[in-house]
Chain A
Amino acid sequence: MKILRLSLIALTGAWLAQQINLPTPLMLGPIFALFLAKLVGLDVGKAPGTYGELGKILLGTCVGATFNRAVLARLGPLILPSALATLVLIASALLLAAALARITGLSLATALLSLTPGGMAEMVAVADEAQADMAAVAVLQLLRFVMVLLLVPLLIVWLSA
């Protein structure tokens, strides 16, 4: 029954997000609706592991389906510059993590894994191995993920205005 409640809240959130024109409504809607439900203390349980994995697989399949030579040709010359940009991003994350650990008293390992942009599930798994604070890493990775999805559309609208 819990899974029914979970899915119902998620779908309602998706519908509401579409009504208020939230960016990426089908993803952000369920996220915010479930956050809210959790924060007010509603017991919605966890989503079955298959939800996230199937979602990722289907999305990856959609992306891969449109690959062709033209895409590769466009990627080629941009791989190196984008890799450079990523290195700057990773270095910034490391510096910010060091500052975060110092200011908040989080352990350095926890702060590093919380800010490193390497995928939520992966970072939480590494946190487990590195004996960092897994729950903290999960929450902060989640915060980054949601902030990116919320802010990027706004920044793009603002830029193209």
Chain B
Amino acid sequence: MSDLNHVLVLLAVGVSGGLLARRLRLPGGPMVGAMLATGLVSLAAADSSPLPEGIRSFAMLLLGTSIGASLERSAVVRLRRVLPTALLAILTLIAVGFALGWTLYRFAGGRILLVTAMLSTMPGGASGLAAAAYDLGAEPELVASFHLVRIILVFSALPAALQWLLHAHRSRQPRKPQA
């Protein structure tokens, strides 16, 4: 049933799910909301035919444009001394993700592709990696689902981790005198 009706129904479901997730401020936002809504409908209808490739291409263009345009020149200039160290930290994090992907692949024993495992353990973004999964011949449904797990874990751990770390940090520093 890969006809126009199928496409239109799924688009309506996806947009509703995405907007609902945004309104409820769910972690992962519109991408996760749209994925869960259309995923549930596809499961219920036992129909999992892919949408036309043009929709995906358009989505990638929109994402790339919004991300590219979000860079602030003034912030880059201000942070220029921090950037090399930050880059090193990021590369280390990617190396950790790489090692974890390899481990997951070995552990799964052939149940997922190597490229799927790699994309699944990278430190995000979920939408970018799901999009890359299409281009790299990985399994986007699996990649996106694993990243949903990551997002849930980050958002369950983040408030506590932040509070703990900031508290530990503050208690080591002398209080600034009040003006």
Contact = CB atoms under 8 A, between A and B. Distances in A.
A139 B59 contact: no
Contacts of B111: 74, 77-78
Interface in B22-54: 22, 27-43, 46, 48-51
| Interface of chain A: mostly helix, strand, loop or mixed | helix
A125 B50 CA distance: 33
A112 B165 CA distance: 9
A139 B158 contact: no
A18 to B, nearest CB: 11
Given A31-B68, A34-B69, A66 B140 contact: yes
A67 B141 CA distance: 7
Interface in A81-95: 81-83, 85-90, 92-94
A86 B121 CA distance: 7
Contact of A62 (B59, B66, B128): B59
A54 B72 CA distance: 22
Interface string B65-83: 1111111111110110111
Contacts, number: 402
A28 B64 CA distance: 6
Chain A interface bracket (under 10, 10 to 19, 20 to 34, 35 or more): 35 or more
B60 A59 contact: yes
A121 B118 contact: no
Nearest to A151: B94
Interface residues of B, number: 117
Given A71-B142, A85-B103, A96-B89, A155 B27 contact: no
A109 interface: yes
Contacts of A11: 61
Contacts of B155: 118, 122
B94 A108 contact: no
A120 B125 contact: yes
Given A112-B162, A143-B83, A68 B43 contact: yes
Contact of A27 (B55, B64, B83): B64
Contacts of A74: 111-112, 142
Interface in B1-33: 10-11, 13-15, 17-19, 22, 27-33
Interface string A38-82: 110100111101011111111111111111110110110111011
23 contacts: A11-B61, A34-B68, A38-B72, A47-B69, A51-B66, A57-B31, A59-B131, A60-B18, A63-B38, A65-B10, A66-B42, A67-B39, A67-B40, A69-B43, A81-B104, A88-B96, A90-B157, A94-B161, A96-B92, A118-B150, A144-B123, A147-B90, A149-B128
Given A66-B50, A90-B161, A144-B93, 13 more contacts: A10-B64, A31-B68, A32-B68, A34-B71, A51-B69, A52-B63, A58-B59, A59-B63, A61-B51, A74-B111, A75-B145, A96-B89, A100-B86
Interface of A: 6-7, 10-11, 13-14, 23-35, 38-39, 41, 44-47, 49, 51-69, 71-72, 74-75, 77-79, 81-83, 85-90, 92-94, 96-100, 103-104, 106, 108-109, 112-122, 126, 130, 135-136, 138-140, 142-145, 147-149, 151-153, 155-156, 159-160
